[in-house]
Amino acid sequence: MAKQIFTLNVNGRDHEVYTEPNQSLLEVVRDELRLTGAKEGCGTGDCGACTVLVDGRIVTSCLVLAPDAAGREITTIEGLADGEKLHPMQQAFIDHGSVQCGFCIPGMILSSVALLEENPAPTRDEIRRGIAGNLCRCTGYRKIVEAIESVAGS
């Protein structure tokens, strides 16, 4: 099928993209827009490394067709900081030593930010369930949970 032109709003900016319509949002964000924070882990929505926000809610961008995201507000990890000032969740992950290899962290942080939007004072169990769609093979999750707790409590 021929390539198509459509407009994606990513991190507050409209981008015209020209691509085959069966490309995933993840492929377009990484390969066309060169925003490489979102990662492809499994490609089937299981690992959460490709998590981005669409209209403020987390989705696995490997299972969203890019044309279906036209007209929506997409936020990737690159759009979270305010200029040079990191988002409080990003800073908390640094302060708590929550990052090891880093592959899962962009998705993990977006899931954490969205969790606190939906539930500003989660219990530890709610935090663990809230990030259960994001797999981390390094950390054992403990310092990630502590970072989220510190932002929730501040």
Partner 1 sequence: MRRFDYYRAISVDEAIALLNEHGEGGMLLSGGTDLLVQIKEAGLAPAYVVGLSGIDELRELRSNGDGLHIGAGVLMHEVASDGTVQAQYSALCDGAGVVGSRQTRNMATVGGNVCNAAPSADTGPPLSVLDATVHVAGGGGTREVAIDDFWTGPGRTVLDSEVVTHITVPAPPANAGSFYERHTPRQIMDIAAVGTAVYVELDGDGNCSQARIALGAVAPTVVRAPAAEAALSGGPITAARAAEAGRAAAGEATPISDQRGSAEFRTHLVEVMTTRSILHAAERAQG
Contact call for residue 90 and partner 1 (CB under 8 A):
no
Tell which one of 43, 100, 116, 141 touches partner 1 (CB under 8 A): 43
Tell which one of 7, 18, 22, 94 touches partner 1 (CB under 8 A): 22
- In the bound state with partner 1, the residue whose beta carbon lies nearer, of 20 and 95, is 20
Contact 39, 49 (CB under 8 A): yes
37 CB neighbour count, 10 Å cutoff: 19
Question: Shortest Cβ distance from residue 39 to partner 1 (Å)?
Answer: 14
- With 0-12 / 13-18 / 19 or more C-beta atoms within 10 angstroms meaning exposed / middle / buried, residue 16 is exposed
Tell which one of 46, 101, 138, 142 touches partner 1 (CB under 8 A): 46
Contact 44, 62 (CB under 8 A): yes
SS3 assignment, position 148: helix
Contact 103, 36 (CB under 8 A): no
Contact call for residue 58 and partner 1 (CB under 8 A):
yes
Q: Which residues bind partner 1 (CB under 8 A)?
A: 1, 20-24, 27, 43-46, 48, 51, 54, 57-60, 63-65, 67-68, 111, 114-115, 129-130, 132-133
